[in-house]
Chain A
């Protein structure tokens, strides 16, 4: 009895490396220990990858008193969460995944820290796999503001842009602490009033950005006249170590819904070279696709909004989402096992795929 081991709450156990981030994040927020087994146990290269290790290190940095045990092959991970501490930190992200991979989880954790988080992340800012920093800056921050997480402290700043494979980017993420979140009723997306975006290029011709903008506008102008796409060409130190270009488009509605789409060029030395015109067009089409899906929150941020609804007060929150992404579906399941929160899911109208989610 005396000093009886760590905690009495049940340990959750999972298999496989998929959804590692959300598991760790939810474990940290709920304070429940976690065990993940069979991480790539069957593969030639078993165990945790460098980006996952880096992520675990990051979690360790922002918390105080967490216990992390990894077996020798790296196929089993035990995590006993500590206290979310925050403070001023720095972290070098692994260049195999972009900063977005790390930032997405930090966005979930930051409002619940003990001290306001101010972290400098270094690595790849934009890539083709994860949501880019530009995208998160444009979509996730307004979402946080909807829950009452705002103020001067909230910002994402791109100091340097880094493209894969070498990276070299740097961002600053700062978030204030809010213990009490407002419930939201976010069921009316409203009409899209403007489209904004950024076309960036590093270590290539500055004309690339303009070419992308031209082609994207060509498609989007058929729908809306109010389009402005910023061009962002970074030079010298702030341009990272690898060349590349890409684009991120944001559609904003009259009710403050923000939908986004993005594309980036193939990393140097991998795949064929992409024409900027083509990329611009594809990106615009992706945005249209996102608009077609609908919802008040774009597909990358579905899980974030669900988490914030869960962690808010004991009130009903409602949100309208587009089709649930597999990531979100898994997230919902995890929310149930970590927080015993089940969402009431209603379909808004049968022909369109809309979901309404209500926790309490």
Chain B
């Protein structure tokens, strides 16, 4: 009822947009009478006329500017059709709510609740988008790694606290390694009680965030928690934002393949681990491939572990696939997938060849209720077995009777007999076979049981999931002897023998698994009887097994070849070995093979070099073996072998010159081979039939198209090393006879020439030969679509249909389509499709064609005029992108990955060998594992030049020759950079420390990384410091191998003879030669006199003549400034933080700086005495007397002439004056006069003092008077001015009056 009411209440809403509204509006306007001219331009043309040409030009200019500003250089769009999940990294300081947010997001998207999150979690978030969410801790290693792979960063900020250093550090890391999209999320907003305070904080944080990221960057607010979770609506909004976000492509990411690993498995043979727990491991890692295409066998880097070569890549079905295209709006619950193997989500795990069901870890079964499912029980019991089955067997006891002694396995030992081997010689093929023979045939059943058990064991070891049908296969093998060397289970004993057989008979020509596949598919349709198919199936299974564990066979084979003569003696021995090798699943790198006309090429490790020739041969056989083991089709294999055995025989005799010849011979051999197969009467009937058919098919193929791919990349192997062993006839036990070996010379050591010489030139005088190329010339006949006349005709058809607009006459083209239609109809009749359907299709096609043509015409008319360079470029890129997509679209993934590598978006499994055991032992899923693909030369180590700037927030300055940890490319590594600055003349001068607020250069020895790559440096990755951790940032400038950093070196010398401006200097050099090197060099004295080195002297070695701009003193020190090249320490130490034990992963410490070492050990730096600071004592300077030359003195005026004031020496005796001796009376007079003058002097003094006193007083009085006088004057002046002012006022008044009066008068 209520609903109905509601419906009633709902008002009508008039449409505001859409065609209906438009129509209404038009009608309305029409009613008003202005409807016709709805266009303002028409209605009011004056308002739109040109008013100012200048302004118009400016506006035009401006619009153009704005337009071009938007342009980016167009790039080819390389995003795959099904992109990999978007990597969402959640970062933030501890306790900010990262895990909570992830959990909430996962719950939002998948309605599943994860308890604990470890490693990346992949979820389907929408119809076209998947997300991989991963949490980033505060360890700087993790932050650096994840910043490199992130597409979107959710940056959590505790609003109650504000920004923390981690946030800024992460932002800086992002800036350096390409800025992913960053979205801020404010949490802990519920701690604010005051609303105003909250608002303020929000604003403050937002603006700070904007300055760091970009103005307008999205910041999300999570206002509060409800039951330990964020509010549902807010999370929903956030999820919505994430799932519609667009991302910009980052250069590094798009140019390198990378994998964020979400699963890791240890594939090492448990036996190897048991023997040596520290042995290098073989691991397989899983994850979505992102970035660029990944090629097999390429170099990768695992940050925190090291560099590796991919030993194998394979793609797996997508564990978290996008839903199939449907026209639904939202995802169903079924499609909301989640995949997080490290967190234990996603119960079923697919491997290359197996499916694993997760049973919840090793202890899950303990607390589970029993009897849930019957088959479950079985699995559980299997899990809970702790000892191997043979151990159990050994320990188990059986009591036959109640009280009897229980029988142990050792008691049975005598009765159970191992099968003996018996040699049988096959009469037809003449080969030795070893039959497994038991004492009593009756015990067959028993034996079977045992072998079954063995099978089981093997399965456990080799992780192959071959069923227990190994026996059947074994039987089949024994029948069809040749191809079935891969015996499983109990057939192991036979293996070595068969393998030996293999080595004799196998030399595949142009064998390639791919083509075999093609063949097989061809044949299966036609020929294969049902039984064969069964057989084939078995073989397919077996084939996969082979791939897994074929190495054991390899080794067996290789050994078999190496000592085939000593075979009988060593057979026992070898058996042992082969068994051992079966356990060690160490696969040798399959060597790159080489076919046709030349050399054997090896992907060599260093070991290969050390191997002797015999080993070389072994390897080459390995290759063959690998080839063969790839073949899945039995009969084909068989053909190949028969054929190749022939070939082997022929090889010594015949020499192959050319690939083409090779091909031809191939055919011949096939014919021969058919005879051969007829000879082998022992073979089964159906088999024979098959071989013939296969041969026929092959021949057909060969004749129709010489398969070039096989020719080029195939693996017909001619190893020139082979003959070296064969030609080992010994002469007298000392010399070897060397036959000049034409064949190898022609191939490996032939003339290196790119010209393609013609063997049999055609006779160009013949008319028919000439006519064969006649059409290659413009004068010849053209193809239909290019012929001018034809084209003209076509044009008529296409464009014949037009309307003359002026006259309105419609011209119709010829109805050419009719004929087509009739033809089509006929075709339709022929085909299987029902007639109307086909017709409809045709019509549709036609319509589409017409539409397209019309569109083309339209485009040509309207678009081309506007097309700019930019548009053209864009169009070109678009075309290329389409071509790229189209080229491999129709191929299946298996072949596709061979050409273009594994494309991004695929879920791949990557096998890596020789991984340090710590990686597996100390595996912690909380730390991300990343595989970063390396470019061509990025695996090399060399000198790298950088532009570097110390981070302005880093407190210290950096010192040259102190180890520094750089994050560059995928890597984190410690190295020793040398800082330098470029002088104005381009010289790179070494700096001892980084400058404070300036860029400087740096050179280090480390991994080669392309120019323009950003990097950041930290001093230590261990622990946390309150300070900012990023020490420096910068960019790679150059990869020059020659180092140009120099430091200043001053050579000093001393003058030993001084002429006017020339001096002889010694002590600077040691020999004449050294001087000769420095001739013409500028030298200088400490006092600043400049000079030049002239020529070496003979007398003291190393002395030279030099000229200066002034005369030197003997006390001068002369020096020459030279530049000495600095050697860069070759120190490159990858940060292996992932190898640290769990919980200590952030404690990696590499090389310490000398400062740290000194601090730790308490060593004080011994300083040079000369560089110590001492109190400066300055002695008083004594200057020599000024000496004025006499001539100058004479010329001087008297005033300036030096006066001879100096005391005269003793006056000569003759000039002495006689002493005056007074009379007593005279004495009295003089004493009296003396006394009187004293009195007088005193009087005068007194009078003077008095006078002074009087004057002072007088001045005081005078001043007073003066002041008074001034006062009076002032007052008087005041009076006068006042009077004057009053008078003036009066005057003015009167004048005003007067004037007014005057006016009045007027």
| A 314-330 binary contact with B (CB < 8 Å = 1; else 0) | 11100000011111111
| Inter-chain contacts of A294 with B (CB < 8 A) | 776
**Sample of 21 A–B contacts (CB below 8 Å):** A1-B1134, A2-B1130, A2-B1151, A7-B940, A13-B602, A13-B603, A14-B599, A31-B937, A39-B749, A101-B753, A104-B754, A193-B778, A225-B779, A288-B764, A299-B755, A316-B884, A327-B756, A328-B756, A329-B597, A343-B712, A346-B708
| Inter-chain contacts of B712 with A (CB < 8 A) | 324, 329, 332-333, 343, 345
The distance in angstroms between the C-alpha atoms of A345 and B895, with both chains bound, is 12
Residue contact A360 to B753, C-beta cutoff 8 Å: no
The distance in angstroms between the C-alpha atoms of A327 and B1008, with both chains bound, is 32
**Most A C-beta atoms less than 10 A away, residue of B293, B751, B1041:** B1041
Closest residue on chain A to residue B1129 by CB atoms: A3
| B 1115-1150 binary contact with A (CB < 8 Å = 1; else 0) | 000000000000001111110000000000000000
Residue contact B1131 to A2, C-beta cutoff 8 Å: yes
Residue contact B753 to A129, C-beta cutoff 8 Å: yes
The distance in angstroms between the C-alpha atoms of A316 and B881, with both chains bound, is 9
737-754 of chain B: CB within 8 A of chain A: 738, 740-741, 744-745, 747-754
Please give the distance in Å from B400's CB to the nearest CB on chain A: 63
| Inter-chain contacts of A250 with B (CB < 8 A) | none
Question: B78 contacts the other chain (Cβ, under 8 Å)?
Answer: yes
| Inter-chain contacts of B747 with A (CB < 8 A) | 16, 18
Other A-B pairs, 5, CB within 8 Å; known A42-B738, A285-B764: A31-B940, A131-B754, A224-B778, A333-B595, A350-B704
| Inter-chain contacts of B1151 with A (CB < 8 A) | 2
The distance in angstroms between the C-alpha atoms of A149 and B901, with both chains bound, is 27
Residue contact B1132 to A2, C-beta cutoff 8 Å: yes
Please give the distance in Å from B602's CB to the nearest CB on chain A: 5
Residue contact B603 to A3, C-beta cutoff 8 Å: no
| B 583-613 binary contact with A (CB < 8 Å = 1; else 0) | 0000000001011111111111110110000
| Inter-chain contacts of B740 with A (CB < 8 A) | 42
Question: A289 contacts the other chain (Cβ, under 8 Å)?
Answer: yes
Residue contact A360 to B764, C-beta cutoff 8 Å: no
Residue contact B608 to A18, C-beta cutoff 8 Å: no
| B 893-935 binary contact with A (CB < 8 Å = 1; else 0) | 0000011110000000000000000000000000000000000
**Most B C-beta atoms less than 10 A away, residue of A83, A192, A328:** A83
Question: B820 contacts the other chain (Cβ, under 8 Å)?
Answer: no
Contact among A130, A219, A313 with B754 in the assembled complex (CB-CB below 8 Å): A130
The distance in angstroms between the C-alpha atoms of A19 and B888, with both chains bound, is 31
| Inter-chain contacts of B797 with A (CB < 8 A) | none
Please give the distance in Å from B604's CB to the nearest CB on chain A: 4
Given the contacts A12-B604, A65-B942, A129 and B1040 also touching, CB distance less than 8 Å: no
Given the contacts A18-B749, A42-B738, A65-B1042, A333 and B594 also touching, CB distance less than 8 Å: yes
Residue contact B778 to A254, C-beta cutoff 8 Å: yes
Contact among B598, B942, B1041 with A330 in the assembled complex (CB-CB below 8 Å): B598
Residue contact B708 to A345, C-beta cutoff 8 Å: yes
| Inter-chain contacts of B754 with A (CB < 8 A) | 104, 130-131, 300, 303, 325, 327
Question: A38 contacts the other chain (Cβ, under 8 Å)?
Answer: yes
**Most A C-beta atoms less than 10 A away, residue of B298, B309, B598, B782:** B598
| Inter-chain contacts of B598 with A (CB < 8 A) | 16, 18-19, 330
Residue contact A327 to B601, C-beta cutoff 8 Å: no
Residue contact A16 to B749, C-beta cutoff 8 Å: yes
Given the contacts A16-B720, A104-B754, A313-B76, A31 and B744 also touching, CB distance less than 8 Å: no
332-360 of chain A: CB within 8 A of chain B: 332-333, 336-337, 339-340, 342-347, 350, 353, 355, 358-360
The distance in angstroms between the C-alpha atoms of A16 and B721, with both chains bound, is 11
1004-1053 of chain B: CB within 8 A of chain A: 1005, 1008, 1039-1042
The distance in angstroms between the C-alpha atoms of A330 and B883, with both chains bound, is 28
Given the contacts A31-B937, A285-B764, A83 and B778 also touching, CB distance less than 8 Å: no
Binding site for B on A (CB under 8 A): 1-4, 6-21, 29-32, 35, 38-40, 42-43, 64-65, 82-83, 101, 104, 129-131, 183, 185, 191-193, 219, 222-225, 254, 284-286, 288-289, 291-292, 294, 299-300, 303, 313-316, 323-330, 332-333, 336-337, 339-340, 342-347, 350, 353, 355, 358-360
The distance in angstroms between the C-alpha atoms of A31 and B1133, with both chains bound, is 21
541-565 of chain B: CB within 8 A of chain A: none
Residue contact B887 to A360, C-beta cutoff 8 Å: yes
Question: B393 contacts the other chain (Cβ, under 8 Å)?
Answer: no
Question: B435 contacts the other chain (Cβ, under 8 Å)?
Answer: no
| Inter-chain contacts of A101 with B (CB < 8 A) | 752-753
Q: Interface SS of chain B: helix, strand, loop or mixed?
A: loop
The distance in angstroms between the C-alpha atoms of A360 and B720, with both chains bound, is 33
| Inter-chain contacts of A327 with B (CB < 8 A) | 753-756
Please give the distance in Å from A83's CB to the nearest CB on chain B: 5
| B 1133-1176 binary contact with A (CB < 8 Å = 1; else 0) | 11000000000000000010000000000000000000000000
Question: B297 contacts the other chain (Cβ, under 8 Å)?
Answer: yes
| Inter-chain contacts of A12 with B (CB < 8 A) | 601-604
Binding site for A on B (CB under 8 A): 76, 78, 292-293, 295-299, 307, 309, 592, 594-606, 608-609, 658-659, 704-706, 708-709, 711-713, 720-721, 738, 740-741, 744-745, 747-756, 758, 761-762, 764, 770, 772-780, 782, 880, 883-884, 887-888, 898-901, 936-937, 939-942, 1005, 1008, 1039-1042, 1129-1134, 1151
The distance in angstroms between the C-alpha atoms of A315 and B878, with both chains bound, is 12
The distance in angstroms between the C-alpha atoms of A205 and B745, with both chains bound, is 40
| Inter-chain contacts of B1132 with A (CB < 8 A) | 1-4
The distance in angstroms between the C-alpha atoms of A228 and B357, with both chains bound, is 77
Please give the distance in Å from A322's CB to the nearest CB on chain B: 8
The distance in angstroms between the C-alpha atoms of A331 and B887, with both chains bound, is 23
Residue contact A18 to B599, C-beta cutoff 8 Å: yes
The distance in angstroms between the C-alpha atoms of A129 and B751, with both chains bound, is 9
| Inter-chain contacts of B900 with A (CB < 8 A) | 360
Contact among B599, B758, B772 with A15 in the assembled complex (CB-CB below 8 Å): B599
| Inter-chain contacts of B1133 with A (CB < 8 A) | 1-2
| Inter-chain contacts of B899 with A (CB < 8 A) | 342-344, 358-360
Residue contact A17 to B887, C-beta cutoff 8 Å: no
| Inter-chain contacts of A82 with B (CB < 8 A) | 1041
| Inter-chain contacts of B764 with A (CB < 8 A) | 219, 284-285, 288-289
| Inter-chain contacts of A224 with B (CB < 8 A) | 777-779
Residue contact A315 to B604, C-beta cutoff 8 Å: no
Closest residue on chain A to residue B741 by CB atoms: A42
Contact among B295, B605, B705, B755 with A347 in the assembled complex (CB-CB below 8 Å): B705
| Inter-chain contacts of B708 with A (CB < 8 A) | 324, 345-347, 355
Across chains A and B, which 5 residue pairs bring their CB atoms closest together, nearest first? A16-B748, A65-B1041, A31-B937, A3-B1130, A325-B756
**Most B C-beta atoms less than 10 A away, residue of A13, A219, A223, A303:** A13
The distance in angstroms between the C-alpha atoms of A244 and B597, with both chains bound, is 34
Closest residue on chain A to residue B721 by CB atoms: A15
Residue contact A9 to B299, C-beta cutoff 8 Å: yes
**Most B C-beta atoms less than 10 A away, residue of A104, A130, A326, A358:** A326
| Inter-chain contacts of B608 with A (CB < 8 A) | 13
Please give the distance in Å from A286's CB to the nearest CB on chain B: 8
Closest residue on chain A to residue B781 by CB atoms: A191
| Inter-chain contacts of B596 with A (CB < 8 A) | 326, 329-330
Given the contacts A16-B720, A16-B748, A342 and B713 also touching, CB distance less than 8 Å: yes
The distance in angstroms between the C-alpha atoms of A30 and B606, with both chains bound, is 19
Contact among A1, A185, A192, A350 with B705 in the assembled complex (CB-CB below 8 Å): A350
| Inter-chain contacts of B606 with A (CB < 8 A) | 11
Closest residue on chain A to residue B761 by CB atoms: A289
Please give the distance in Å from A139's CB to the nearest CB on chain B: 12
Residue contact A292 to B755, C-beta cutoff 8 Å: no
Closest residue on chain A to residue B1133 by CB atoms: A1
Closest residue on chain A to residue B616 by CB atoms: A15
Given the contacts A13-B604, A131-B754, A30 and B937 also touching, CB distance less than 8 Å: yes
Closest residue on chain A to residue B937 by CB atoms: A31
The distance in angstroms between the C-alpha atoms of A42 and B738, with both chains bound, is 9
Given the contacts A83-B1039, A289-B762, A316-B884, A192 and B778 also touching, CB distance less than 8 Å: yes
